[in-house]
């Protein structure tokens, strides 16, 4: 029987070396660098990056929240862009253009 806490990782396995998700925009071939996540967070990462969910046991779950990995939901990013644009005094047309740019960069 395995000892320790159950955690999940996100990995892409091909004919070459496996590639592990570390955090937003960071991947590694080193398994010890893989993000140790809760199942819910790992499922979201796998869905976003088309990776495979794997489970393991260790001493801690480092990432219990999506935001801890640097991942941001599109609606939160849009809200931040709008608030900053309004504070900067941009026009409605400029704000719409910034929102469109934000959506494109998040997809």
Least confident range of 3-7, 45-49, 77-81, 103-107:
103-107
Whole-angstrom CA distances from 42 to 10, 12, 47, 90 are 6, 13, 9, 38
Is the model's pTM score more than 0.85? Answer: no
Q: Which of 75, 18, 2 is nearest to 10 (CA)?
A: 18
Q: What is the pLDDT of residues 47-71, one digit of tens each?
A: 989 999 999 988 878 877 777 787 7
Q: What is the pLDDT of residues 20-32, one digit of tens each?
A: 999 988 999 999 9
Residues 46-83 as b or e (16 or more Cβ within 10 Å = b): beeeebeebeeeeeebebeebeebebeeeeeebeebbe
Q: At what angle do helices 92-106 and 74-87 cross, to 10 degrees?
A: 150
């Amino acid at each position: 029987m395995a000892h320790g806490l159950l955690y999940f990782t996100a990995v892409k396995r091909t004919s070459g070396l496996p590639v592990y998700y570390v955090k937003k925009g960071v991947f590694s071939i080193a398994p010890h660098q893989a993000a140790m996540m809760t199942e819910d967070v790992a499922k979201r990462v796998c869905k976003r990056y088309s990776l495979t969910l794997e489970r393991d046991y260790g001493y801690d779950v480092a990432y219990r929240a999506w935001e801890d990995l640097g991942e941001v939901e599109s609606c939160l990013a849009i809200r931040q862009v709008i608030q900053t644009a309004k504070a900067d005094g941009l026009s409605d047309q400029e704000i719409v253009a910034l929102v469109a740019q934000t959506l494109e960069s998040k997809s």
